[in-house]
Structure 1
Amino acid sequence: MNEATLKATGAGAILCDASIAAQVGEDWFDPAYWRTAAVAGGRGAAWRVQTPAGEAVLRHFRRGGSIARVLGDLYVWAGAEKTRPFREFRLLQRLQALGLPVPQPLAARYRRERLLFYRADLLTRLIPAATTLAEGLAERRIDAAAMRRVGATIARFHAAGAYHADLNAHNVLFAGATAEAPAGGAVHLIDFDRGELRADRRGWPQENLQRLHRSLRKIGAAADGEARFERELWQPLQDAYTAARQQSDNGAPPRQDRNA
């Protein structure tokens, strides 16, 4: 696990990878500072940026649901280590230490606002040549084999107790995608806002899977028919997930994505 450095700023603080601490400043969290490109998916604003540490994704935290109309991108202050970006930064570090495929955290920042609130940003290293599960399905390039790899990867996270608060088709990535094999790379999970490591592995893993199932239906994965969707896409994922969890429960480490 890479060491992290905490840097105080005028209105808050930055938590960053110690190897780049000397370079990171508040301007790193300003999209206008970089030559940027918007990144699709998720409710928060996100940009692809070229930093001295390499290509990265800059994400500004923004609320969803009805509360967003009131608070927008403001969060209630409860201490630095309880801020959304610091919690996600530290969780990503722990997941990487467990060998799980997640983006490398580079820097996280909070800025205090109006005494009781703060705003937040997170920089993570870009996963190269990646395509989302949602994009692959929209282009009809996802087959049963790809879904099996998704299922096996999710099982690795669940076996480690890694809870993803928003497991959906936009937060599943295939790295190293090519025109010939758009879903041929290693499977990653991204956006661990509100995620955590849980000792109790009862109940929530299936709720996680059902959230992904609803997401797939929402983006039209079942447009060719419910039976076909369940048979050709969801069942392969479920079967691979179950097999990997059984293997883990029997004491063997879950088999890694063959393309990882």
Structure 2
Amino acid sequence: MAMQERIREGAAGAILCDAAVSSQVGDDWFDPAVWRARDALRQQGGGRGGVAVIDTPAGECVLRHYRRGGMVARLMGDRYLWTGADRTRCFAEFRLLVAVAALGLPGPVAVACRYRRHGLFYTADLITRRIPGAWTLAECLGYGRLDGELAGRVGMLVARFHRAGIWHADLNAHNVLVTPEQLYLIDFDRGRRRAPADGWRRSNLRRLRRSLLKLGAAAQGEAVFEAQLWQPLLERYERTLHA
């Protein structure tokens, strides 16, 4: 059954959520301090997103605050220009995740999101269900667990999304999650559905390759990386894409 969304508007912004949990979700769900006071903040990480793992009445979830990166962060921080509710980063990502789930693709399950208006700008947050027992692909690489078999599974994962026309704006080793059962793509901020085209697909793959190289995947030499990791990834990608 497709998820039904519900929007609750307030004076300062709006909450968009899964109708199944709409009666429970309020502004307090987006405040890590509230979860900490309830002894329900399991983990809080730094980084650009300000990610927290929270134990909610709907189950264990991930709360992410949207924050800019790069040079623009010095000026804008966590503020984005207001151009309408449907164009907010959180509403767009929430709805893309709903589409990902409807396509049967392995991504985070959207629970709720919120934007808050601040004059010409807004801030935003997103809550998704936590994927338990997962390692990032970057962690797998760091602990020597990335081999040709896993690289092939990554290629298959990416191809499934590409075949469905799902473009990930930041395809890197930190946004691939590995569990014993299957692999997932996470963090679809700025992602969108696109018409099939080799250009954006190849650009996505090049971004993933740069991420792996930056994290040291070619420590034994680029030729070894090509033969043992990248070629298995590409071969599985091509087979899956054209299956």
Q: What is residue 82 of structure 2 aligned with on the other side?
A: 77
Q: TM-score, normalised by structure 2?
A: 0.95
**1:44 and 2:72 aligned:** no
Letter in 1 for 2:110: P
Deviation at 1:223, TM superposition (A): 1.4
Cα shift readout 1:15-43 (whole Å, capped 9, x = no counterpart): 00000000000000001111321247x63
Q: Secondary structure at the match of 1:122?
A: strand
Q: Secondary structure at the match of 1:203?
A: helix
Q: What is residue 99 of structure 2 aligned with on the other side?
A: 94
**Aligned partners of 1:202 and 1:141: how far apart in 2?**
30
Cα shift readout 1:90-111 (whole Å, capped 9, x = no counterpart): 0000111001100100001000
- Checking the alignment, whether the CA contact within 8 Å between 1:150 and 1:237 is kept in structure 2 is yes
Cα shift readout 1:137-187 (whole Å, capped 9, x = no counterpart): 000012111110110111010000000000000000012xxxxxxxx3301
Q: Secondary structure at the match of 1:110?
A: strand
**Aligned partners of 2:120 and 2:25: how far apart in 1?**
26
**Aligned partners of 1:10 and 1:52: how far apart in 2?**
26
**Aligned partners of 1:243 and 1:15: how far apart in 2?**
38
Q: TM-score, normalised by structure 1?
A: 0.89
**1:218 and 2:214 aligned:** yes
Q: Secondary structure at the match of 1:129?
A: coil
**Aligned partners of 1:46 and 1:87: how far apart in 2?**
19
- Checking the alignment, whether the CA contact within 8 Å between 1:158 and 1:201 is kept in structure 2 is no
**150, 160, 173: which is aligned to 1:156?**
160
- Checking the alignment, whether the CA contact within 8 Å between 2:163 and 2:196 is kept in structure 1 is no
Deviation at 1:122, TM superposition (A): 0.1
**Aligned partners of 2:236 and 2:124: how far apart in 1?**
37
Q: What is residue 187 of structure 1 aligned with on the other side?
A: 183
**1:203 and 2:199 aligned:** yes
**65, 72, 93: which is aligned to 2:70?**
65
**1:15 and 2:11 aligned:** no
**Aligned partners of 1:136 and 1:22: how far apart in 2?**
39
Misfit runs of 4+, over 4 Å? none
**Aligned partners of 1:185 and 1:143: how far apart in 2?**
17
Q: What is residue 136 of structure 1 aligned with on the other side?
A: 140
Q: What is residue 239 of structure 2 aligned with on the other side?
A: 243
- Checking the alignment, whether the CA contact within 8 Å between 1:5 and 1:15 is kept in structure 2 is yes
Segments of structure 2 that go 5 or more residues without pairing to the other structure are: none
**Aligned partners of 2:234 and 2:228: how far apart in 1?**
11
**Aligned partners of 2:17 and 2:214: how far apart in 1?**
36
Q: What is residue 120 of structure 2 aligned with on the other side?
A: 116
Letter in 2 for 1:186: Q
Letter in 2 for 1:92: L
Deviation at 1:202, TM superposition (A): 3.1
Cα root mean square deviation, aligned = 1.1
Deviation at 1:190, TM superposition (A): 0.3
Segments of structure 1 that go 5 or more residues without pairing to the other structure are: 176-183, 248-260
**Aligned partners of 1:21 and 1:64: how far apart in 2?**
31
Give percent identity, aligned residues only.
56
**1:233 and 2:218 aligned:** no
Q: Secondary structure at the match of 1:102?
A: coil
Q: What is residue 167 of structure 1 aligned with on the other side?
A: 171
Q: Secondary structure at the match of 2:61?
A: strand
Q: What is residue 29 of structure 1 aligned with on the other side?
A: 30
Cα shift readout 1:81-135 (whole Å, capped 9, x = no counterpart): 100000000000011100110010000100001x100000000000111110000
